Amino acid sequence: MAHTESMLAEFKSGKISTFYNELYAKLLVYASRHLGADYAFLAEDCVQDAIYKAYEQRASFKSILTLKAFLYSCIHHAAIDILRKNNAQSNYLSQQEDQTEFLNSIIEQETLNLLYNSIERLPEKYRRIFELHFEQGLKNAEIAKLLNVTESAVKKQKAQMLDLLRKDLQKKTGNHFLTATLLLQWIEWLE
């Protein structure tokens, strides 16, 4: 009992070495337990902040028990604040990712809709080449044989088809840089 009273008296007078030797490790363990494995690295910050607050109010403590209770309370509240803040940040980031995915899926779908509308407006011979090459996966030689034309004619018609698609999509998207860029990437992918 005399030891704890002398520790309190020293603390109140501004000497904290005995206090640190006796309580610091215990407070650190307490903070680590409250923060959990993911945030235990912040335990020392919680303890240091609690000690600083106690040191500022050191004259008001009547016993070592009230000092300990104050420290444990400060650490407990600091740990809760850290966990709440990190949980809120995680939730916010998760919501932002969900919104970004949602917006990206809308942009992608609208882009595909524009592309498919342009494909539908192609002249019949170009739509046929598109279907055979891009949907069925046939090679130029196979398409040439099916259509009874030369392979170079297929290459030329495919290049003309892609050029028509490019022009139509640029006309549709106008100044919408993002949409135009995405559509042009789709066309490049098709090539």
What pLDDT digit, counting tens, does each position of 145-163 carry? 988 999 999 889 988 888 8
Domains recognised in the chain with CATH numbers:
2-90 (1.10.1740), 121-190 (1.10.10)
Mean pLDDT of all residues in 88-111: 70
Mean per-residue pLDDT for 5-10? 83
Q: Which of 146-150, 166-170, 185-189 has the lowest mean pLDDT?
A: 185-189
- Is the entire prediction scored with pTM above 0.75? no
Of 59, 54, 62, 56, nearest to 23 by C-alpha is 54
Half-sphere exposure of 119 (CA within 13 A, CB side): 18
The span from the CA of 47 to the CA of 61, in Å, is 18
Confidence of residue 131 (pLDDT cuts 50, 70, 90): confident
pLDDT tier, 4 (very low <50, low <70, confident <90, very high otherwise): confident
C-alpha distance from residue 81 to each of 34, 76, 93, 185 (Å): 11, 9, 18, 46
Indicate the pLDDT class of residue 190, thresholds 50, 70 and 90. Answer: low
In the predicted structure, residue 49 carries a pLDDT above the cut 90: yes
